[in-house]
Structure 1
Amino acid sequence: MTTHTVSSSAHTTRTSVQLVSGLFGAVFLLVGILGFVPGITQDLDTIMFAGHHSQAALLGIFQVSVLHNIVHLLFGIVGLLGLRSRGLAKTYLIVGGIVYAVLWIYGLVVPMESMGNFVPLNTADNWLHFVLAVAMVTTGIVFGWKTSAAAQK
């Protein structure tokens, strides 16, 4: 008779940066799904693939389109993949935060009723993008640095 034992080394421990990446990923995935749910997204019957003519609003606040929801779904998937690798998690948070900073600036510069507002973005989206940019870059640097410093010991 053979006995199988599982050593503690068989269990992988996720770092803080991986857990934060997974948390952001789960939230983005949830938001992407909820962007297609009637009731949670108001005026869903007006949703367009892209462009400022979409009047669909997640929670009645954040203007969304099919493209906007797909971007959230993709950000969610990549964030969840960050659970598998410390390097991917750190990169996801920092680069993702930079992408949201660019979106924030883009939303401030491009007139909301112009053809350039293809995502679409409104004032609530713009300020949420600013908060996401700061939160993602900060957590990517802080938690990524801590795990890098610990790994060097």
Structure 2
Amino acid sequence: MSYASSSRGLSSHRTSTQIAAIVFGVIFLAIGVLGFIPGITTNYGALYFAGYTSEAALLGLFQVSVLHNVVHMLLGFIGLWMARTHSSARTYLIGAGVLYLLLFIYGLIVPLNGAGNFVPFNWADNWLHLGLAVVMIILGFVLGPERARGSSGSRGSPGEGSIPN
């Protein structure tokens, strides 16, 4: 029986970078879905497609809209898809982190009750975007190509089977 993994799909031999991309992908996917569930999303009746006029709030804290929820789900699917290889997972973590950093800056510049706030987001979203940016960018640079603990079936030497960047 061979324990070799294919670089074309997910395998049981994932790097910690791939696992991080999967975790963020699942979280973003779940957040997007939860944004459509009344009760978890307060003021659900005021959930609009886009714009600052949407009064819906995920967990009563984070302002959401249909567009906001769809963006989270797309980011989740992209994370799961890019988790197939170490290098694409790393690109996802850093790229999505930069995207969230730009959203944080955008949230500081654009009036929250103005037409420019089309996604929409509020101050809780802005601070969450900053936190996500910092964590994702750091993980993208810190996590290496080594296999995650316990995920490798190989009994070779520590240098065997390493994945290049």
The TM-score with structure 1 as length reference comes to: 0.90
Q: Distance in 2 between matches of 1:17 and 1:41?
A: 31
Q: Secondary structure at the match of 2:120?
A: coil
Q: Which residue of 2 aligns with 1:3?
A: none
Cα deviation, residue 85, structure 1: 1.4
Map residues 58-137 of structure 1 onto 2, 5 A cutoff.
58-137=58-137
User: How many residues are matched?
Assistant: 145
Cα deviation, residue 9, structure 1: 2.4
Percent sequence identity is 51
Considering fraction of residues, name the structure with more helix: 1
Q: Which residue of 2 aligns with 1:147?
A: 145
1:51 matched to 2:51? The reply is yes
Deviates more, 1:31-40 or 1:73-82: 73-82
Q: Distance in 1 between matches of 2:118 and 2:4?
A: 49
Cα deviation, residue 140, structure 1: 0.7
Q: Distance in 2 between matches of 1:135 and 1:98?
A: 11
The TM-score with structure 2 as length reference comes to: 0.83
Q: Distance in 2 between matches of 1:61 and 1:12?
A: 37
Q: Distance in 2 between matches of 1:97 and 1:8?
A: 33
Q: Deviations over 1:106-140 (max 9, x none)?
A: 00111111100101110000000000000110101
- Counterpart amino acid of residue 9 in structure 1: A
Q: Distance in 2 between matches of 1:96 and 1:105?
A: 14
Q: Which residue of 1 aligns with 2:4?
A: 9
Q: Distance in 1 between matches of 2:29 and 2:125?
A: 17
Cα deviation, residue 47, structure 1: 0.7
